[in-house]
A = this chain, B = another copy of it.
Amino acid sequence: MTTRPGRPRDERAHAAILAAVTELVAESGYAAMSLGAVAARAGVGKDTIYRRWSGKAELVYEAVFTASDAAPVPDTGSLEGDLTVLVQQLIDEFSTPAAVAALPGLLADFAAASDLRARIRSAFLEPAKQRLTVVFDRAHARRQTGPDVDVDLVLDGLVGTVFFRLGILGESAGPELAQDIARIAAKGIESR
């Protein structure tokens, strides 16, 4: 039962919509980007959008944040080194023009709708949490940390710091930023 009756959805429309969102959100920002403009840019009817996504937030999330899920788990041999790589991954993910323009409004919409709010942890944070858990397991095996590090708290700290700096304040990340953040975090959770 893999096929449904009727005409199948046009994959080119799907791709054209996501491309239009990426362009328009970078040009205009999240709030100023209307779905009507997306439809026009993509050469698509508005229904074709609403048939696939429930609203602006879901659509922009998929368009902007679906690439880096495959980021590799860092393994540099030290906790600080691993965290530096991981924070740099976050910075890279949040630094594209589309992400910078989309993030504040996107998270505002997610936060405002309770059904979406519940999905932030699973959608945004879960991939990074898995990488972070592996990093901590290795650090524990090296006796650098205790067994009871609060992964969620550290993750919220790293993500919150990066999001606040780049997404809210709109500052660009210098080459030292990832290491500066990682150094404090690593020292903060190491044993002793």
- Chain A residues engaging chain B, CB cutoff 8 angstroms: 29-32, 103-105, 107-112, 114, 117, 120-121, 150, 153-154, 156-157, 159-165, 167-170, 180-181, 183-190
Q: A186: which B residues are within 8 A, CB to CB?
A: 188
- Point out the residue from B108, B167, B184 that lies within 8 Å of A185, measured CB to CB: B184
- Point out the residue from B107, B108, B165 that lies within 8 Å of A156, measured CB to CB: B165
Evaluate whether A164 and B160 lie within 8 angstroms (CB atoms) in the complex, with A107-B104, A185-B184 already known. Answer: yes
- Point out the residue from B109, B157, B160, B163 that lies within 8 Å of A184, measured CB to CB: B157
Contact in complex: B121, A29 (CB < 8 Å): no
Closest residue on chain B to residue A192 by CB atoms: B187
CA of A170 to CA of B112 in the docked complex: distance in angstroms?
Answer: 9
Closest residue on chain B to residue A117 by CB atoms: B170
CA of A21 to CA of B96 in the docked complex: distance in angstroms?
Answer: 35
